[in-house]
Amino acid sequence: MTSISVLIPLYNHARYIGSAIKSVLSQTSPADEIVVIDDGSQDDGLAVAESMLAGIEHARIFRQPNQGAHETINRLVRTSRADYLAILNSDDCFLPEKLARCREIIAARNDIDLICGRAVIMDQDSKLVKSGETVDWLARSAAFLTESGLPHLSLMNENFVTTTSNMVFSRALWERVGGFQNLRYCHDLDFLMSAFVHGHVELDDDFDHIRYRVHPTNTIKEKLELVRLEIASVIAASLSEAGLKILEGRLDAPAIEFFYRVIDNKAMPKLIILLMTIYAQMRNRPAFYDYLADPDRAASLRKALA
């Protein structure tokens, strides 16, 4: 049976970490390993995690000074042991059949590198959310995917996978794509876009995999101009890396029209072209993102969004 490590990056989620861990312990097909890293939290979430996982032999917990999400996830992967990794953000929950479903898919096709399914939205009180901005966003992204039949391009249009909590991926894929990159908001989107280039992605879009929690402190709700700059950077890197793979090699009129719609939806074509020009001078994706992490360069590029 496929070995799966569940990796939980914990940061200031004392209110939610108990539900997250409970959802892992309640899996119908148990995780082979549970690894938690507290990324310098300022609340008592670590104590909650330690209490819930006390006496569980296949669970390990670590603490580190704050490093950020991408560094924490990469350390979790390096620390873990299984062939496949399931990320669970400390404010989200797995649905009970998630790991069983992923093992079933992998057993049926041994070339699978990344699996993601449907996400159910819940609020800060764990109540299901059936309307509102996030629900509309997911419905809109799913509609584009169905209409276009181009999953890689659809992901660039809107991240229908939603969160790293919706990813189960192979260790081999993580190595091929160079891990999660130096991005605060879009490290998940970058990983997914690169996964389409370097691996086989399975969209299990007929099955609910996770509950994604929407609450006032979601990271993505921070400064909009910084989020948009990262989105533009990921699009530039992805187009440079993927080439026509993003259209599955198609250059027919419908595929081209869908591509133009995505670019129009993003409403920042000049910035994307500029970033692609910069990318062409970089030796790889990590170098590109590290270059853009310089505060002065980032400030200059943000002006293009004004």
Q: What is the mean pLDDT of residues 26-48?
A: 97
Tokens of 294: 């310089």
Tokens of 222: 């921070």
Least confident interval from 34-43, 177-186, 221-230, 233-242: 221-230
pLDDT of residue 90: 96
Q: How confident is the model at residue 218 (pLDDT cuts 50, 70, 90)?
A: low
Question: So what CATH class is 4-216?
Answer: alpha beta
Instruction: Identify the bridge partners of residue 202 per DSSP, sorted by sequence position.
Output: 115
pLDDT surpasses 70 at 220: no
Cα maximum dimension of the chain: 60
Q: Name which of 105, 136, 87 is nearest 205 in CA terms.
A: 105
Rounded to two decimals, the pTM is 0.94
Q: What is the mean pLDDT of residues 32-42?
A: 97
Q: How confident is the model at residue 299 (pLDDT cuts 50, 70, 90)?
A: confident
HSE of 85, CA atoms in CB hemisphere, 13 A: 25
Q: Name which of 182, 176, 210 is nearest 195 in CA terms.
A: 176
Question: 3-class secondary structure for 243-279?
Answer: HHHHHCCCCCHHHHHHHHHHHHHHCCHHHHHHHHHHH
pLDDT of residue 222: 56
Phi-psi region of 31 (alpha: psi -120 to 50; beta: other; left: phi over 0): beta
pLDDT of residue 225: 84
Q: At CA 145, angle to CA 230 and CA 87, rounded to 5?
A: 55
The separation between the first and the last C-alpha atoms of the chain, rounded to the nearest angstrom, is 52
Q: How confident is the model at residue 217 (pLDDT cuts 50, 70, 90)?
A: low
In DSSP notation, the chain reads ---EEEEEEESS-TTTHHHHHHHHHT-SS--SEEEEEEES-SSSHHHHHHHHHTT-TTEEEEEES---HHHHHHHHHHH--SSEEEE--TT-EE-TTHHHHHHHHHHH-TT--EEEEEEEEE-TTS-B--SSHHHHHHHHHHHHHHHH--HHHHHHHS-TT-SGGG-EEEHHHHHHHTSS-S-SS-HHHHHHHHHHHHS-EEEEEEEEEEEEEP-TT-GGGS-HHHHHHHHHHHHHHHHHHHGGGGGTT--SHHHHHHHHHHHHHHT-HHHHHHHHHHHTTSSSHHHHHHHHTSHHHHHHHHGGG-
User: CA–CA separation, 291 vs 289, rounded Å?
Assistant: 5
Show me where the domains of the chain are located.
4-216, 226-305
Model confidence over 152-173: pLDDT tens digits? 999 999 999 999 999 999 999 9
pLDDT of residue 282: 96
Q: What is the mean pLDDT of residues 185-214?
A: 96
Q: At CA 281, angle to CA 172 and CA 73, rounded to 5?
A: 30
